[in-house]
Every structure is written in C-alpha cells, then in structure tokens.
Amino acid sequence: MTRPVAFVTGGSRGIGLGIAEELAGSGFDVVINGRREASDVSEAIGRIEARGASCLYVRGDIADLDGHEEMLEVIRQRFGRLDVHVNNAGVAPIERADLLEASAESFDRLVSINLRGPYFLTQRVANWMTDQRRADPAIKPSIVFVTSVSATMASTNRGDYCISKAGLAMASKLFAARLGECGVPVYEVRPGVIKTDMTAGVTEKYDSMFAGGAAVERRWGVPEDVGRVVAALARGDLPYATGQAIMVDGGLTVPRL
C-alpha cells in the first residue's frame, strides 16, 4: 500500500463523514469507525469511495478500551500503516440538564466516550506512529483532535459535554508536547455550531442566534467546513503549528463590541 491512510473515529455521519470525504478527496485511503452495523453505513462508505479512496469500516465503541487494539489490528491487516488519526467520535448529553440537577450517570457517559476513550486510543496510535517513524523517517504521521467551542464557552445545561471537550483540548496539547521529539504533530480543530443530526433538536434556537448576529458569518457551519481544515492539516499544509487550536466557528468566538 502506497497511499496514506487516515482513521476517523465516528466517521460514518455528521462532522466525521465530512472529514472522511475531504480526506478521501485529498488522496488518503480512509478508515471510519462507529457503533452501528456495517450494513447501516453503506451509504457513507459509498460517498467516501466516490472521492477515489478505499474505505474500511471498523465497528467499535471508543469508550471500550479493551477493543482499541482490535480496531487498530484490523487497520494493520488491511493497510499496514496509519498516517493520520482523527479523534472525532463524541456524543451529546441524552438530555440537556441544568447544572444544579445534572446526573453523575450522564457525566460518566460523556467523559467515557468523549474524553477517556479518545485519550487512551491516541496513546495506542501514538506508539504505532512513533514505531513507523523509527522504521521509516520519511513517513510523516499526524494526529487531530476534534473538540468544540464548548471547550471554552460555558453552557450550563450541558456541563458534562463542556467538561469533556475542555479535557480533550488539553489532551491535544499534552500529546503535541510529548510527540514533538518524535516528529508527530498534533492539532486541535474546534468547530462551532455545525448542522448535523446532533444539533437537529436545537435548530430553531441557533437559527435565531445566527439571524441575530451571534457569529460573524451568519450561517450554520457544515461538516465540509471542518473537513477541509482537517484535510489541510493532514496534508501538512500548516507546518510549524503543532499544539495549536484552529477555530472553525464562523467567528462565533470573536470578541466584539
């Protein structure tokens, strides 16, 4: 296999699918992950392969640490390499609850899927990538964490989500600092309000906010907006930027008077 390979967790829908499609269009073969049956992601696979890539679906739960090595072994057997790892998989709270009433069960679920799982999966990926670099210094792997503006913007009816994304933002910096000597850059991509099935339930709220000028660009973000940024990072278009958070929020977080 000579084409570089990218692994996008949660890559069968929403932002993850937007990322996978853009990576496919940039010359990467793509591995996507999710918890659904393979038969349920055939449309997503078709969209990725239509961009000229080979696509492998690896079913697995990111929160299940014991399953991480099995997923990576499937990638090794199929492609023999991993050039880009995109930590995208994540969930929203089952129910938005006031900070003073939120449950420990919801907190544990969010942290397990959105933070603990990606943290330890990246640990395994990082060891594989550093082994690849030692064997062949010409290989230029990279890691991308997809977080959220909620890493710094407080939403008191989904504190568990905000905390999970803030932790993931710090994880990106930690891995960047540790892997710098290994030649593996690590980036954070921080989306704003993106139109996906995750945000479908708050469409009216954000339609009103955008109409009122909440963001500099008065529109929803779309998965391709995030995908194009991740693809640029994967191609190496932003050298000398490891450890940085790149905002893809239409100016939502720009301070204005």
DSSP for 193-239, written as a single string = SB-SGGGGGGHHHHHHHHHTTSSSS-S-B-HHHHHHHHHHHHHT-ST
131 burial type by CB count under 10 A (0-12 exposed, 13-18 middle, 19+ buried): exposed
Low-confidence ranges of the chain (pLDDT < 50): none
pLDDT reported for residue 153: 97
Catalytic residues: 148, 161, 165
Per-residue pLDDT tens for 136-148? Answer: 999 999 999 999 9
Per-residue pLDDT tens for 127-138? Answer: 999 999 999 999
pLDDT reported for residue 198: 87
Please name which of 133, 123, 119, 231 lies closest in space to residue 184, comparing C-alpha atoms. Answer: 133
pLDDT reported for residue 14: 97
DSSP letter at 139?
-
Please calculate the CA angle 111-117-122 and round it to the nearest 5 degrees: 130
The answer to whether 246 touches 210, Cβ cutoff 8 Å, is no
Question: Which residues touch 127 (CB under 8 Å, ≥6 apart)?
Answer: none
For residue 35 the two structure tokens come to: 């918890």
Q: CB 51: neighbour CB atoms within 10 A?
A: 17
For the chain, where are the E strands, in sequence order?
Answer: 5-8, 29-34, 55-59, 84-87, 142-146, 186-191, 245-248
DSSP letter at 153?
S
Per-residue pLDDT tens for 59-105? Answer: 999 999 999 999 999 999 999 999 999 999 999 999 999 999 999 99
The answer to whether 14 touches 200, Cβ cutoff 8 Å, is no
